[in-house]
C-alpha cells in the first residue's frame, strides 16, 4: 500500500452505520476517509456525508453508481440482511474490499454466492462480528488456544433477552431480514462459540423456531409494536453436532420468560476446565468465570468488573473502533482479517440449517 488514505464508500446509512461504522472510521481519519455514501433515502446519505464525509463527498441512491467510482478502495455494506449478497457480489466485481455487517447473508445459498464472488478476487472480505474484540473474549481465546480447557466437547451459545424486541427499522420484516432473533442476536453468540472452540466443521443440525410472543407487547425495552407487523420468529433453538462429535446448544430469543437473560455469551465445557462469559442488556458488568479441579479441590476463578462495552461510540477504543482498526490494518499490511470469510459463512450455514430443520421437521445433515 502507498501512504495515501484508503477511500471508503458506505452503503446503507441507517442505525448500525451511525452507531458503529461511521463514527469509528472517522476516528481513524489518519488512514482512511469516507468519500461516498449511499442509501435508498437520499436525505440519510446526505446527512451522513455532512457529518462523516470529506469535502465534496458523493451521495447516491443506487449502490451500483457508487461502485462505478474507481477511487473507492473499500465498501461497508450496512443494509438489511437480504441485500447483503447482491451488493457484495457487485462490489467484488467492481474490485472493492468488502466489510459486510453480520450476518453474511440471510441464507446459505446467498452466502455461497458471496463466497464464490470473493474467491475470484484478490480482495479482503470480512463480516462485522465485533464481539470478538471484547476484552474478556480475547482473554478466553488465549486460554482456549493454550490448551488450558483441554478438548472442548460441549458448549452453549447464549442470546436470550427477557423483553427486548428491536422495534425500529426493518427488524420485524421477513422479506428484509430473513429471520428474527436467531439471525440477529443468535448469530453473535454462535460466532463467539465457534471461534473460541476453533471448530468449523458442523455435521448435523436440529432446530426449533417459535412465533409465540408476538402479541406480548407489554414491558418491551424498545417500546411496543404492532403484532400484525411481527413477521419473524421471537425465539429459536438449535442443537448442533460437529464432525468430531462436539456438540453446541444455541439459544436465541428477543422475548423469553426467563430469570437469567444472557446475550453474546457462551459457556464452554472442556476436559481440563470449563469457562463461561456472561453478559446481557440488563447486566452492568460482564463476568468471565473459569472452573476446574486443582490438587483435588474445586476451583472457581471469577474475573469481574470487566467494563461493559457496546457498539455505540463512547470513547476512542470501543468495539467498533477496534474492529475498524483491525479491518483496515488487514488491508494496509495484507494480513488476514480477524473475522475470516469462511468462519462467517459457517455461522450462516448453521443458522440456515436451524430454520430448515424446523420447517421440514427433521435433522439437517451438513456436508
Q: What is the DSSP string of 305-321?
A: EEPP--SS-SSTTSHHH
What is the residue-averaged pLDDT of the chain?
Answer: 95
pLDDT at position 316 is 53
Question: Contact at 8 Å (CB) between 250 and 190?
Answer: yes
Cell of 358: 424446523
- Site of grid cell 465485533: 130
Across 168-184, average pLDDT? 98
pTM: 0.94
Task: Tell me the H-state helices in 68-200.
Answer: 84-93, 108-119, 135-146, 174-177, 181, 187-197
d(CA 192, CA 267) in angstroms, rounded, equals 10
pLDDT in tens, 66-106: 999 999 999 999 999 999 999 999 999 999 999 999 999 99
d(CA 101, CA 123) in angstroms, rounded, equals 17
Question: Contact at 8 Å (CB) between 132 and 194?
Answer: no
pLDDT in tens, 194-216: 999 999 999 999 999 999 999 99
Is the confidence at residue 293, as pLDDT, over 70?
Answer: yes
pLDDT in tens, 140-162: 999 999 999 999 999 999 999 99
d(CA 360, CA 355) in angstroms, rounded, equals 9
With a CB cutoff of 8 Å and minimum separation 6, the contacts of 32 are 5, 6, 7, 8, 25, 74, 328
> What is each CA distance from 341 to 111, 115, 127, 321, in whole angstroms?
10, 7, 7, 20
Is the confidence at residue 49, as pLDDT, over 70?
Answer: yes
Cβ neighbours around 173 below 10 Å, total = 16
Tell which residue, 57, 123, 53, 42, has the closest CA to residue 90. Answer: 123
pLDDT at position 304 is 67
pLDDT at position 3 is 66
Across 221-249, average pLDDT? 97
pLDDT in tens, 310-324: 444 344 579 999 999
Q: pLDDT exceeding 70 applies to what percent of the chain? A: 96
Q: For the chain, which domains are there?
A: 6-131+321-339 (3.40.50.720), 134-312+344-365 (3.30.360.10)
Is the confidence at residue 308, as pLDDT, over 60?
Answer: no
d(CA 325, CA 329) in angstroms, rounded, equals 6
d(CA 101, CA 129) in angstroms, rounded, equals 8
Tell which residue, 328, 341, 337, has the closest CA to residue 8. Answer: 328
Question: Contact at 8 Å (CB) between 22 and 49?
Answer: no
At 173 the three-state DSSP class reads coil
Question: Contact at 8 Å (CB) between 35 and 71?
Answer: yes
Q: Strand 297-306 to strand 364-365: parallel, antiparallel, or no bridges (unpaired)?
A: unpaired
Across 43-63, average pLDDT? 97
d(CA 41, CA 61) in angstroms, rounded, equals 7
pLDDT in tens, 245-288: 999 999 999 999 999 999 999 999 999 999 999 888 877 778 89
Amino acid at each position: 500500500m502507498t501512504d495515501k488514505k484508503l477511500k471508503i464508500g458506505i452503503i446503507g446509512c441507517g442505525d448500525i452505520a451511525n452507531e458503529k461504522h461511521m463514527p469509528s472510521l472517522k476516528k481513524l481519519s489518519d488512514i482512511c476517509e469516507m468519500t461516498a455514501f449511499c442509501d435508498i433515502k437520499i436525505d440519510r446519505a446526505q446527512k451522513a456525508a455532512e457529518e462523516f464525509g470529506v469535502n465534496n463527498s458523493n451521495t447516491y441512491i443506487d449502490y451500483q453508481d457508487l461502485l462505478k467510482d474507481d477511487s473507492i478502495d473499500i465498501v461497508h455494506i450496512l443494509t438489511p440482511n437480504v441485500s447483503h449478497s447482491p451488493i457484495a457480489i457487485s462490489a467484488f466485481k467492481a474490485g472493492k474490499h468488502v466489510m459486510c455487517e453480520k450476518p453474511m447473508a440471510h441464507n446459505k445459498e446467498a452466502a455461497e454466492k458471496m463466497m464464490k464472488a470473493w474467491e475470484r478476487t484478490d480482495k479482503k472480505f470480512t463480516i462485522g462480528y465485533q464481539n470478538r474484540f471484547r476484552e474478556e473474549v480475547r482473554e478466553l481465546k488465549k486460554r482456549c488456544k493454550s490448551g488450558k480447557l483441554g478438548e472442548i466437547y460441549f458448549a452453549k451459545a447464549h442470546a436470550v433477552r427477557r423483553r427486548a424486541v428491536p422495534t425500529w427499522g426493518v427488524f420485524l420484516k421477513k422479506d428484509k431480514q430473513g429471520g428474527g432473533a436467531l439471525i440477529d442476536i443468535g448469530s453473535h453468540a454462535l460466532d463467539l462459540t465457534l471461534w473460541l472452540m476453533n471448530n468449523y466443521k458442523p455435521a448435523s443440525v436440529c432446530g426449533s423456531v417459535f412465533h409465540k410472543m408476538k402479541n406480548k407487547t407489554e414491558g418491551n425495552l424498545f417500546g411496543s409494536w404492532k403484532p400484525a407487523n411481527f413477521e419473524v420468529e421471537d425465539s429459536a433453538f438449535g442443537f448442533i453436532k460437529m464432525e468430531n462429535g462436539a456438540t453446541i446448544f444455541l439459544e436465541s430469543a428477543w422475548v423469553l420468560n426467563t430469570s437469567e437473560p444472557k446475550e453474546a455469551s457462551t459457556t464452554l465445557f472442556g476436559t481440563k476446565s470449563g469457562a463461561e462469559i456472561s453478559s446481557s442488556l440488563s447486566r452492568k458488568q460482564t463476568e468471565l468465570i473459569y472452573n476446574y479441579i486443582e490438587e483435588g479441590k474445586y476451583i472457581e476463578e471469577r474475573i469481574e468488573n470487566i467494563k461493559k462495552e457496546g457498539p455505540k461510540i463512547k470513547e476512542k477504543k470501543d468495539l467498533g473502533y477496534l474492529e475498524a482498526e483491525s479491518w483496515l490494518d488487514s488491508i494496509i499490511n495484507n494480513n488476514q482479517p480477524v473475522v475470516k470469510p469462511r468462519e462467517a459463512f459457517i455461522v450462516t450455514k448453521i443458522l440456515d440449517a436451524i430454520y430448515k430443520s424446523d420447517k421440514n421437521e427433521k435433522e439437517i445433515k451438513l456436508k
